[in-house]
Amino acid sequence: MTTLGSPIQGVTLYSFTRAFHGREYDLEGLIRKTAAEGYGPGLEVIGFSSFRGFPEIDDRFAGWFKDLVAEVGLVTTSLAINADIGIHRDRLLDQDELIEYMRRQIEAAARLGFPIARVQISIEPDSMERLAPVAERYGVTLALEVHADQYASHPRILALRDRYEQVGSPYLGFTADWGATTVGFAPSLIEAYRRRGASEDLLAKVVDLWNEFSEAGPPKDQADHGQRFGRFIALAAQNGRPDLGVDFGINGTGLFGPARVDDWLEIMPWIRHVHGKFFGIDESGEEPSVPVRDLIRLLVEQGYTGAISSEYEGWHWNSWQSPFEIIAGEQAVQRSAAEAAGSRMITDPAEARAQLAAHLAQPVHS
């Protein structure tokens, strides 16, 4: 019988991108606010967007960062790193160059005190296998993000899972992004389109099209995904708003994935980190687009003891509400859901630190 899990509450600073870009807060200010407002103890950061000169991190800055995190009582969970093979104008990185590019970022994660590096979905099984000894050398778990338009049972993800099993390294795993398992378009996104002049008729058709795809289940492959993307573009053009077509397609297929909650069971033993992706909180205090309560219950029942980074994605279009209030509302839902499932969210830093270390040390059993 599986012991109930007690996930660690946390947040990614990505949720506060609008406030960061607007210079309301700098990095230190966001870290201090995260601690003061109780959004932690888990702290996730995106390397390239938060650290000047990343992945080059000198000892002085690393010391300052770790001292700050310790001072305010937070626990570093995941550092988001990139797999950009197109960083040169005239060519793509070859495999050796990609591995070295990733190695530098993994080293930076270790220097900054992050036990997990979130890897992007574009990394192939061969590359992950080559990165396993790099991860082991630096003591950093590589958690590849499963993000819409893909999902846990997608052939590319299953190929990675199977390779992980062959390699047998405890330093290879996944980050589960809840955006792969949504139940509808965010009301705030519909409102943003309304503010851009989209008609009520067009908005109803966009919702209907997403619901049609949701009923059919997630796209079977990239060709299926492309067809869905194209239908959003065509819908906008047919209704006199071709300027919204690509936006409909990106959001309709890349942010709001229609996989079912229990799809995560395909890779559950390899889930080392979770992105609690969400888009807003309604008047009743619930998230209408993401089944947060069902997702928390699944994690609790499956014995998950890692961190959940609340990842508010609505900042892309929602300029009229405070991301800080929205994060507080979503984390309240998480805590309530964990209690309803017979467990709790970990909010004490010392307990979180010890539990995360034990979670990452666990061997993977399929």
Residues known to be catalytic: 147
3-state class (DSSP) for residue 107: helix
Q: Which residues pair with 132 in a beta bridge?
A: none
For residue 248, which phi and psi values (nearest 5 degrees)? -60, -45
In 3D, which of 103, 173, 162 has the Cα closest to residue 138? Answer: 103
For residue 109, which phi and psi values (nearest 5 degrees)? -60, -45
Residue 93 CA to its chain's centroid (Å): 25
Q: In the numeric block, which tokens belong to residue 126?
A: 């061969």
Alpha-carbon gap, residue 170 to 366, rounded angstroms: 12
* DSSP state for residue 86 in the 8-state scheme: T
* DSSP state for residue 162 in the 8-state scheme: H
Q: In the numeric block, which tokens belong to residue 61?
A: 């800055």
Please give the full DSSP string across 213-279, using - where no structure is assigned.
HHHH-S-SSHHHHHHHHHHHHHHHHHTT-GGGHHHHHHHHHHT--B--GGGGGGTGGGEEEEEEEE-
Residue 173: in which H helix or E strand, if any? strand 172-177
The residue whose two tokens read 């299926």 is 224
Are 207 and 185 in contact by the 8 Å Cβ rule? The answer is: yes
Q: Which residues pair with 143 in a beta bridge?
A: 118, 173
Q: In the numeric block, which tokens belong to residue 302?
A: 């499956």
Are 341 and 19 in contact by the 8 Å Cβ rule? The answer is: no
Are 283 and 277 in contact by the 8 Å Cβ rule? The answer is: no
The residue whose two tokens read 């199977």 is 162
In 3D, which of 284, 49, 273 has the Cα closest to residue 178? Answer: 273
In 3D, which of 157, 210, 188 has the Cα closest to residue 313? Answer: 188
